[in-house]
């Protein structure tokens, strides 16, 4: 049987760091409020010339270098984003061109903060169906460009960035026990007004701004996240005790801690980057993966759970052996 094995990872962040103190000059907020409610200390904000595609390209190049591969070795690019450079063509095609690739195929996926989990599951399906051999899976966002910078309830929460992994087809003998083991995806559009953008091509004709009922999102988050994690554990026939690392979507430290506690996973096994990156939507999981694999915490063969929940609502989990 063919499986999808991670063979490279990388990430990229904008040049400019914006601290909580800097935001105090913009809106009526404080470093202590932001840290207490969210765990966020700073975020990276895209500047002149930095876009979702440029950050995605940089993350892709880092992942290719990490894997010892070139763009010639890739036959599919999937980009998870809700902040594309253009309405069309897809940011994935833009990145394909930036990488000098004119073979294979590329497309975007839109599942907001759950985008990376959806993209990894989709890439895994292409590989297991024999339709792709090596897939660049990228999560890239410039949420700063969707924010209402006068709204303190949302503008302090988000940041920009990109991360990427490369998934490679391997048969059972080559994979050993590595590869993607299980996945669980969910969505429910009944919750759309709790977290959405109040604009769009087919409605207002402009980009709009992110709007969120924070408390409502918070109320649903832990239950939804833990449900899909349990579904992935059940599919794989393993328990939380066997997990080496939980790599959650980085929205809020309290949501991360609440989910880990409910599952009985100690915080020592949880990768947390929300303090440094804030919420980078579809980029947050691959940014966290690159941080923890880059500094040697996540090692080859480790059992890793990825999870996310976001606008829609969408939510999902992917279980893999690194
Ligand atoms: N600085 C200072 N005060 C603020 C700020 C701010 N930036 N934002 C809101 N407040 C005030 C509010 O106006 C309110 O004041 P009031 O009591 O006088 O009316 C007070 O703080 C409490 O506001 P709440 O919204 O009730 O605060 P809460 O404890 O719920 O924290 C937060 C807000 C951090 C948004 C929280 O609800 C949350 O994290 N929700 C999840 C949202 C999220 O993470 N979304 C990301 C996308 S979805 C996902 O990725 C899971």
**For residue range 100-130, what is the model confidence (pLDDT) as tens digits?**
999 999 999 999 999 999 999 999 999 999 9
Instruction: Please give the tally of structural domains in the chain.
Output: 2
Same domain, 287 and 145: no
Placement of tokens 């790599």 in the chain: 247
101: Cα separation from own chain's centroid: 24
Residues 28 and 111 in one domain: yes
314 & 216 share domain: yes
State whether 125 and 67 are in the same domain: yes
Q: Convert 147-168 to b/e letters by CB count within 10 Å (16 or more is b).
A: beeeebebbbbbbbbbbbbbbb
The predicted structure's pLDDT at residue 109: 98
pLDDT bucket at 192, cuts 50 / 70 / 90: very high
Q: Residue 24: which residues within 8 A CB-CB, separation 6 or more?
A: 30, 31
User: How much is the pLDDT for 93?
Assistant: 98
C-alpha 245 – ligand 1 centre gap (Å): 28
Are 47 and 166 members of one domain?
yes
Give yes or no: residues 37 and 163 share one domain. yes
Residue 108 and residue 135 in one domain: yes
Q: What is the pLDDT of residues 217-270, one digit of tens each?
A: 999 999 999 999 999 999 999 999 999 999 999 999 999 999 999 999 999 999
Q: Which residue's CA lies nearest to atom 1 of ligand 1?
A: 29
Domain boundary among 149, 175, 201: 175
Q: How far apart are CA 226 and CA 248, in angstroms?
A: 11
208 and 104 part of one domain: no
**Alpha helices per DSSP H over 73-112:** 91-98
Q: Examine the fold and report which residue of 160, 175, 190 is the final residue of a domain before the chain moves on.
A: 175
Q: Count Cβ atoms within 10 A of the Cβ of residue 207 and give its class: 0-12 exposed, 13-18 middle, 19 or more buried.
A: middle
Full-model pTM = 0.97
**CATH code of residue 234:** 3.40.47.10
**Distance of alpha carbon 27 from alpha carbon 245, whole angstroms:** 36
Ligand 1 pocket test target in 217, 257, 308 with most atoms within 8 Å of CB: 217
Single out the residue of 79, 111, 113, 120 nearest to residue 98, CA to CA.
79
Q: Whose CA is nearest to atom 32 of ligand 1?
A: 214
Do 60 and 34 fall within a single domain?
yes
Give the containing element (helix H, strand E) for 80.
strand 76-80
Give the per-residue pLDDT at 149: 98
Boundaries of domain holding 291: 179-321
Q: Which residues are catalytic?
A: 113, 249, 279
Distance from the CA of 252 to the center of ligand 1, in angstroms?
10
> Which DSSP letter does residue 270 get?
B
pLDDT tens, position by position, 29-84 = 999 999 999 999 999 999 999 999 999 999 999 999 999 999 999 999 999 999 99
- 137: number of CA atoms within 13 Å, CB side? 33
C-alpha span between 132 and 202 (Å, rounded) = 33
**Ligand 1 site residues, Cβ closer than 6 angstroms:** 29, 33, 37-38, 113, 152-153, 156, 195, 212, 214-215, 217-218, 221, 249, 251-252, 255, 279, 309-310
């Amino acid at each position: 049987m063919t499986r999808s094995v991670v063979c490279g990872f990388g990430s990229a962040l904008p040049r400019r760091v914006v601290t909580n103190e800097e935001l105090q000059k913009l809106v009526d907020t404080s470093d202590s409020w932001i840290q207490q409610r969210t765990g966020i200390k700073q975020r990276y904000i895209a500047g002149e010339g930095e876009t979702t595609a440029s950050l995605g390209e940089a993350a892709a190049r880092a992942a290719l270098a990490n894997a010892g591969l070139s763009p010639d070795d890739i036959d599919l690019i999937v980009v998870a984003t809700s902040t594309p450079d253009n309405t069309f063509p897809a940011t994935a095609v833009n990145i394909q061109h930036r990488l000098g690739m004119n073979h294979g195929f590329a497309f975007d996926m839109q599942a907001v903060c759950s985008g990376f989990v959806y993209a990894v599951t989709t890439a895994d399906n292409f590989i297991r169906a024999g339709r792709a051999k090596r897939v660049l899976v990228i999560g890239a966002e410039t949420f700063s460009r969707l924010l209402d910078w006068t709204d303190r309830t949302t503008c302090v929460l988000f940041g920009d960035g990109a991360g990427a992994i490369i998934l490679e087809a391997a048969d059972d003998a080559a994979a050993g026990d590595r590869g993607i083991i299980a996945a669980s995806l969910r969505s429910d559009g009944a919750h759309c007004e709790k977290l959405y953008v109040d604009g769009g091509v087919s409605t207002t004709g402009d980009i709009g701004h992110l709007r969120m009922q924070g408390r409502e999102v918070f109320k649903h988050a832990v239950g939804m996240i833990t449900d899909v994690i349990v579904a992935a554990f059940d599919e794989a026939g393993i328990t939380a005790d066997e997990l080496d690392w939980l790599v959650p979507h980085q929205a809020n430290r309290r949501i991360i801690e609440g989910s880990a506690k409910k599952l009985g996973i100690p915080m020592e096994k949880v990768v947390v980057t929300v303090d440094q990156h804030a919420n980078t939507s579809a980029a947050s999981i691959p940014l966290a993966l690159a941080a923890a694999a880059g500094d040697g915490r996540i090692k080859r063969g480790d059992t890793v759970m990825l999870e996310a929940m976001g606008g829609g609502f969408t939510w999902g989990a992917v279980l893999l052996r690194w």
